[in-house]
Amino acid sequence: MNINDLFSTTPQTWSTLYPAQLISYAPVTDHGIELYIKREDLLNPTLSGNKLYKLHGHLQAALASGSKTLISFGGYYSNHLHALAVAGKYMGLKTVGYIRGHRPEELTATLKDCLMAGMELHFLSRQDYRKKTDSDWLHAIKIAYQQAYVIPEGGQGPNGLRGCGSIFNAIRTQLGSDNMTVCVACGTGTTLAGLLSQSVEGDSLLGFSALKLGNQKSSFKNDIKAQLESQPVAVKWDIVADYHFGGFAKHNVELIEFMEDFERQTQVPLDPVYTAKMFYGIRAMAEQGFWPKGHRLVAIHSGGLQGRRGKPTLDSTVDKQIKITMANQFMEVM
Ligand SMILES: *Cc1c(COP(=O)(O)O)cnc(C)c1O
């Protein structure tokens, strides 16, 4: 969808544009499992997948409050800041990004795009970056930027999760919920919380953590539950925490080889931070016999492809294609 159409419609519409499609991926489907993928990455290359769904509620709240400036936080490859910069540019709002880490000599493709879209960048040391949740500091920058609207890192919060629920409604309308598990990659867990907020009895969901949770898994689950107005008691859901590959944004040769093989077999591009880890986990669990024969899996492709540009380990034709598509789309927005 082009950006004009995106901004004149809502998550409810976006979520129906790319229905889940059955894919053939032998390492999973050979175990008698039907594997569907819901391609939210196709929505728009510059406004990445779930980040657009999460931004929607925040942008509405910002407009309602009359804010002219949007402030948020993220790393060098942040899908969230990238989406925010593009959305702000389109809406004629000033955007400010606080970046985790010192200014690198050569900016990443993500940050170059953010700058080109007019985002003001501030680089914070790892230490100072922790201020992102300090209420006094946040209050001070809000005032410094004339009542700016501050979006928590990654687009978290009640305003962030609201739009994500549409994705789940679209899946249920299309496929029902019998013998089916919906899978999504998790960072903050906001997207999963949004899916859960629309779930009903009989639904089954799994979130694959891109972060190393260690003994924090149950508190992570509690944080997700705390975001929901009513508890999805009759819904089966869990966090899969075994496929983090050492932690957030960490990867090894095995993951990259898996990713390239998956792309060769399915023609679906992944990103090494989120979706590759989810599909790796899905394959591993299918091989372990986690799901019965005939079970249906619906994996949400949450986007994030812009973030893989420039990653030194990846230099496939897929990567080149992503760079070209991104660059073309980006010119259109500007
Ligand atoms: C941010 C992101 C996620 C994680 O979303 P949360 O709502 O933070 O859990 C998953 N996939 C991609 C591609 C992302 O960019």
pLDDT level of residue 18 (50, 70, 90 thresholds)? very high
- pLDDT surpassing 70 at residue 312: no
Over residues 184-230, the pLDDT tens digits come to: 999 999 999 999 999 999 999 999 999 999 999 999 999 999 999 88
DSSP string of 137-186, one letter each residue: HHHHHHHHTTSPEEPPGGG-SHHHHGGGHHHHHHHHHHH-STTEEEEEEE
pLDDT level of residue 314 (50, 70, 90 thresholds)? low
Q: 75 CB less than 6 Å from ligand 1?
A: no
CA distance 164 to 15: 9
Q: 194 CB less than 6 Å from ligand 1?
A: no
Position in ligand 1 atom list of the atom nearest CA 305:
13
Q: What's the pLDDT at 315? A: 58
Least confident of 86-100, 160-174, 176-190, 226-240: 226-240
- pLDDT surpassing 90 at residue 269: yes
Q: 44 CB less than 6 Å from ligand 1?
A: no
Q: What's the pLDDT at 327? A: 82
Distances (CA, A) of 36 to 21, 29, 141, 176, 184: 5, 10, 44, 13, 12
Helix axes 217-226, 190-197, angle to 10 degrees: 50
pLDDT level of residue 325 (50, 70, 90 thresholds)? confident
CA distance 65 to 45: 29
Mean pLDDT of the chain: 94
- pLDDT surpassing 80 at residue 143: yes
Tell me which of 217 and 44 has the higher pLDDT: 217
Q: Calculate mean pLDDT across residues 27-51.
A: 95
Distance 308 CA to ligand 1 centre (A): 14
CA distance 21 to 185: 18
Q: What's the pLDDT at 329? A: 78
Q: What's the pLDDT at 313? A: 61
CA distance 305 to 95: 22
Q: Calculate mean pLDDT across residues 103-127.
A: 96
Q: 49 CB less than 6 Å from ligand 1?
A: yes
Nearest protein Cα to ligand 1, atom 14: 304
Q: Calculate mean pLDDT across residues 222-248.
A: 91
Distance 253 CA to ligand 1 centre (A): 22
